[in-house]
């Protein structure tokens, strides 16, 4: 079974995320970046490039470089006349009136182009995870119609991904912030990407998201901010040299890249320099570009662009029949919302309310998609319920029986202490074998860890008190410690990941346990009987030893024979035989018991009611000895 990922298939950039041990995580692509440009290029040599390599050669190979394919997904040619004029590649009429891309004489549907992007995301994710990826949750803008959603789903299928669900981008973003757990809240998502601007107003209650209104501008995004810098720098260069860099394709390509880089820098610093050596040349020789740009100047250059987002913001509120004050949460989505000028504007529009931060605005949608994938797959329910143990935790005791210490579904954090003892006389070490699972026998469960507690002073079996503590912290990390109470000697082991098993594993283990329940209980009965038999043998032997000559010879012989019989029965797996042998021996030793009391009564005057040699298994001790370790 392959993994499920969440994919933000963006107009400008795509992002893939996965739920990793319950935590959503963005997967870096083969180039090491979290963002994969949604660009596909066909080179002159027939090579197909996807992502950053395709973006890099866009300007020198414009007619064969497809970007913004999302604008054509599920659209008829008649619906995209405006878009068609902007892009440098050819958009033509497909067989059924749908818009298709034509490159080097071949037609590609937008689904096919998108599938090429998805294929790269899938391949990079598989390489990163070392696992197959065959299912995905893919996001789309809230305003996407049925045809656009179907096209997106088909793109996934072409790429070899089963699209479990198509989720609205603003919904995914809200999920990433855990807003699904809120009740009756109104959320505004302000999404400014590379080429599009979307405002969505959502109503959330009991985990259900309802889109109340959407608005925006399909031709407003980070690219426009870049263009302002390109124009500013090119104008300055032209004033100095008389050369218009915008007329030189390669120079323009370099300038665009430098402009975007400068813009990104100005989100965190207040000053930057755009420096492009050897940008062009004239009769006098090579020309270098060096232009300083301050954030203040940049903000002035792009003030109009910022203001253009205000209209759609207000319209969305009006459509939802809401006032500014009715918005409970504002979420910033899209790389362009990293710009301080946008953050200030949103704060102003939200009546001074701070928008949500903390999740990368250009990753938040993919993260939400991964979370949605986890909810569908059931994996996340375990995370939400991370506060319980999914399976029983215990330790192996005498006869390979599991002593269940922490039952499944126990709330964590949790702590249990139990006292165990030794199984053999003079035993100086015990092995703590920590197990997970529902089965009765140790060998049928999963070993989580094992350690030895050594240095126990030699003593008859059953005498040492070994305190074993199971401690599970808030994060599900299990610590098992064993301590010999007499000496204080202690050993412990820390086990991580005992609580976040994949759901399938858990279900499988629980089902198996049910299937084997009968067989297990029989095996447990056998083991129990053997343990009791062994205890009885030990006890009887020590009585005989203690009483010595006081036991009449015929009784002693009878007991010895019955002991041998029980020992033999104890070796078999025949419960009936063991029980019969035990019953017989018990009848005979009752007479031995009478003898002991008679002697105790006779010695009462001497004050010798008990001694060090008395059998250790008293009723009192049975209360603390809940199980015994198997002998080493």
Residues annotated as catalytic are 8, 70, 169, 191
The span of 58-66, 73-81, 256-264, 308-316 binding ligand ADP (CB under 6 A) equals 256-264
- Burial per residue of 499-508, b for 16 or more beta-carbon CB atoms within 10 angstroms, e otherwise: bbbbbeebee
Residue 263 in tokens: 């813009």
The span of 91-99, 217-225, 505-513, 597-605 binding ligand ADP (CB under 6 A) equals 217-225
| Residue closer to ligand ADP, measured from CB, 170 or 335 | 335
Q: Least separation, in Å, of the C-beta of 392 and ligand ADP?
A: 46
| Residue closer to ligand ADP, measured from CB, 51 or 195 | 195
335 touching Mg ion, by CB under 5 A: no
| DSSP count for the chain of H helices, then E strands | 18, 26
Is residue 388 classed exposed, middle or buried when 0-12, 13-18 and 19+ CB atoms within 10 A define those classes?
middle
6 touching ligand ADP, by CB under 6 A: no
Binders of ligand ADP among residues 351 to 380 (CB under 6 A) are 362
Nearest residue to ligand ADP by CB is: 222
Q: Quick one: which of 51, 170, 193, 355 contacts ligand ADP (CB under 6 A)?
A: 193
Kindly tell me the sign of the dihedral angle through the C-alpha atoms of 571, 577, 578, 582.
negative
d(CA 511, CA 370): 28
| Residue closer to ligand ADP, measured from CB, 75 or 530 | 75
Nearest to 629 by CA among 395, 394, 462, 397: 397
Q: 168: left (phi > 0), else alpha (psi -120 to 50), else beta? A: beta
| Residue closer to ligand ADP, measured from CB, 228 or 422 | 228
d(CA 391, CA 499): 8
Are 230 and 251 in contact, with CB atoms under 8 Å apart?
no
The 169-208 site mask, x for binding Mg ion (CB under 5 A), equals ------------------------x---------------
Q: Least separation, in Å, of the C-beta of 500 and ligand ADP?
A: 31
Cβ–Cβ contacts within 10 Å for residue 130, how many?
7
Nearest to 336 by CA among 260, 217, 222: 222
d(CA 533, CA 407): 28
The span of 134-142, 258-266, 316-324, 485-493 binding ligand ADP (CB under 6 A) equals 258-266
542 three-state secondary structure: helix
Binders of ligand ADP among residues 24 to 83 (CB under 6 A) are 35
The span of 260-268, 455-463, 565-573, 574-582 binding ligand ADP (CB under 6 A) equals 260-268
The span of 188-196, 274-282, 404-412, 546-554 binding ligand ADP (CB under 6 A) equals 188-196
Which residues have C-beta within 8 Å of that of residue 80, sequence separation ≥ 6?
Answer: 71, 72, 91, 99
Which residues have C-beta within 8 Å of that of residue 164, sequence separation ≥ 6?
Answer: 4, 135, 136, 137, 373, 376, 377
Q: Least separation, in Å, of the C-beta of 104 and ligand ADP?
A: 26
The 219-238 site mask, x for binding ligand ADP (CB under 6 A), equals --xxx---------------
The span of 174-182, 190-198, 527-535, 551-559 binding ligand ADP (CB under 6 A) equals 190-198
Are 332 and 343 in contact, with CB atoms under 8 Å apart?
yes
Q: Quick one: which of 4, 13, 64, 540 contacts ligand ADP (CB under 6 A)?
A: 13
The span of 6-14, 90-98, 260-268, 438-446 binding Mg ion (CB under 5 A) equals 6-14
- Helix spans in 242-309 (H): 249-265, 295-301, 303-307
Q: Least separation, in Å, of the C-beta of 193 and Mg ion?
A: 4
Cis peptide upstream of residue 413 (ω within 30 degrees of 0): yes
260 touching ligand ADP, by CB under 6 A: yes
Nearest to 197 by CA among 172, 173, 215: 215
| Residue closer to Mg ion, measured from CB, 193 or 312 | 193
The C-alpha R_g of the chain, in whole angstroms, comes to 37
Binders of ligand ADP among residues 263 to 282 (CB under 6 A) are 263-264, 267
d(CA 87, CA 80): 11
| Residue closer to Mg ion, measured from CB, 201 or 481 | 201
Q: Which residue bears the tokens 């323009």?
A: 252
d(CA 393, CA 414): 12
Cβ–Cβ contacts within 10 Å for residue 181, how many?
12
Q: Least separation, in Å, of the C-beta of 372 and ligand ADP?
A: 18
Q: Least separation, in Å, of the C-beta of 346 and ligand ADP?
A: 14
Binders of ligand ADP among residues 414 to 473 (CB under 6 A) are none
Binders of ligand ADP among residues 387 to 406 (CB under 6 A) are none
The span of 6-14, 91-99, 109-117, 230-238 binding ligand ADP (CB under 6 A) equals 6-14
d(CA 138, CA 156): 8
| Residue closer to Mg ion, measured from CB, 193 or 350 | 193
Q: Least separation, in Å, of the C-beta of 347 and ligand ADP?
A: 17
| Residue closer to ligand ADP, measured from CB, 335 or 460 | 335
Would you list the DSSP string of 231-245?
HHHHHHHHHHHS--G
| Residue closer to ligand ADP, measured from CB, 159 or 401 | 159
Q: Least separation, in Å, of the C-beta of 377 and ligand ADP?
A: 25
Nearest to 491 by CA among 483, 501, 499: 483
Q: Quick one: which of 5, 6, 9, 10 contacts Mg ion (CB under 5 A)?
A: 10
222 binds, among Mg ion, ligand ADP, none (CB under 5 to 8 A by kind): ligand ADP
Q: Least separation, in Å, of the C-beta of 73 and Mg ion?
A: 14
Are 170 and 333 in contact, with CB atoms under 8 Å apart?
yes
| Residue closer to ligand ADP, measured from CB, 36 or 531 | 36
Number of residues forming the site for ligand ADP (CB under 6 A): 22
Cβ–Cβ contacts within 10 Å for residue 561, how many?
13
3-state helix, strand, coil in the chain (%, to 5): 45, 25, 30
d(CA 200, CA 537): 78
Q: Which residue bears the tokens 């032209």?
A: 238
Q: Least separation, in Å, of the C-beta of 511 and Mg ion?
A: 42
| Residue closer to ligand ADP, measured from CB, 362 or 403 | 362
Residue 584 in tokens: 């017989």
12 binds, among Mg ion, ligand ADP, none (CB under 5 to 8 A by kind): ligand ADP
d(CA 208, CA 229): 42
12 touching ligand ADP, by CB under 6 A: yes
Q: Least separation, in Å, of the C-beta of 169 and ligand ADP?
A: 8
Residue 278 in tokens: 């050897």
Question: Which residues make up the interface to ligand ADP (CB under 6 A)?
Answer: 10-13, 35, 193-196, 221-223, 260, 263-264, 267, 334-336, 338-339, 362
Question: Which residues make up the interface to Mg ion (CB under 5 A)?
Answer: 10, 193
């Amino acid at each position: 079974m392959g993994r499920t990922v969440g994919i933000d298939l963006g107009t400008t950039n795509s992002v893939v995320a996965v739920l990793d041990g319950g935590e959503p995580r963005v997967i870096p692509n083969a180039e090491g970046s979290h963002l994969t440009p949604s660009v596909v290029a066909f080179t002159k040599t027939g090579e197909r490039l996807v992502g950053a390599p395709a973006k890099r050669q866009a300007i020198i190979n414009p007619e064969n470089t497809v970007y913004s394919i999302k604008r054509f997904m599920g659209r008829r040619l008649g619906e995209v006349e405006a878009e068609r004029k902007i892009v440098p590649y050819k958009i033509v009429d497909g067989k059924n009136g749908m818009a298709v891309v034509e490159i080097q004489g071949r037609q590609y549907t937008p689904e096919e182009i998108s599938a090429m992007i998805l294929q790269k995301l899938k391949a990079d994710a598989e390489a990163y995870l070392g696992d197959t990826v065959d299912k995905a949750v893919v996001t789309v803008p809230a305003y996407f119609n049925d045809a656009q959603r179907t096209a997106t789903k088909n793109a996934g299928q072409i790429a070899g991904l089963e699209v479990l669900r198509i989720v609205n981008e603003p919904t995914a973003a809200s999920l990433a912030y855990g807003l699904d757990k809120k009740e009756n809240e109104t959320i505004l998502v302000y999404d400014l990407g590379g080429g599009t601007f979307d405002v969505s107003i959502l109503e959330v209650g009991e985990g259900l998201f309802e889109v109340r209104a959407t608005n925006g501008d399909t031709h407003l995004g980070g690219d426009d901010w870049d263009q302002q810098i390109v124009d500013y720098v090119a104008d300055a260069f032209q004033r100095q040299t008389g050369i218009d860099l915008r007329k030189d394709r390669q120079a323009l390509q370099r300038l665009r890249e430098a402009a975007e880089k400068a813009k990104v820098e100005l989100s965190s610093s207040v000053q930057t320099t755009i420096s492009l050596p050897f940008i062009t040349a004239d009769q006098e020789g090579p020309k270098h570009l060096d232009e300083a740009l301050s954030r203040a100047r940049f903000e002035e250059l792009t003030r109009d662009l910022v203001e253009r987002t205000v209209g759609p913001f207000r319209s969305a509120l009006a459509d939802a029949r809401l006032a500014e004050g009715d918005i409970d949460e504002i979420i910033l989505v899209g790389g362009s919302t990293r710009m301080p000028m946008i953050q200030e504007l949103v704060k102003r529009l939200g009546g001074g309310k701070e928008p949500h931060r903390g999740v990368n605005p250009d990753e938040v949608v993919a993260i939400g998609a991964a979370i949605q994938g986890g909810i569908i797959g059931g994996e996340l329910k375990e995370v939400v319920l991370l506060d319980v143990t999914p399976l029983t935790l215990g330790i192996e005791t005498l006869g390979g029986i599991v002593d269940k210490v922490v039952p499944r579904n126990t709330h964590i954090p949790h702590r249990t202490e139990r006292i165990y003892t030794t199984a053999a006389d003079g035993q100086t070490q015990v092995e703590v074998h920590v197990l997970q699972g529902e089965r009765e026998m140790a060998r049928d469960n999963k070993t989580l860890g094992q350690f030895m507690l050594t240095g126990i002073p030699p003593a008859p079996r059953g005498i040492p008190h070994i305190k074993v503590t199971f401690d599970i912290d808030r994060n599900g990390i299990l610590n098992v410690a064993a301590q010999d109470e007499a000496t204080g000697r202690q050993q412990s082991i820390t086990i991580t990941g005992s609580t976040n098993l994949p759901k399938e594993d858990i279900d499988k283990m629980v089902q198996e346990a049910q299937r084997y329940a009968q067989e297990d209980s029989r095996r447990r009965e056998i083991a129990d009987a053997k343990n009791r038999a062994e205890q009885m043998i030990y006890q009887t032997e020590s009585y005989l030893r203690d009483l010595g000559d006081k036991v009449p010879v015929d009784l002693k012989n009878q007991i010895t024979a019955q002991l041998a019989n029980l020992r033999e029965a104890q070796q078999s797996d025949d419960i009936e035989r063991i029980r019969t042998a035990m019953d017989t021996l018990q009848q005979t030793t009752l007479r031995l018991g009478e003898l002991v009391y008679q002697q105790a009564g006779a010695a009462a005057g001497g004050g010798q009611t008990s001694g060090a040699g008395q059998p250790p298994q008293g009723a009192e001790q049975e209360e603390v000895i809940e199980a015994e370790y198997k002998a080493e």
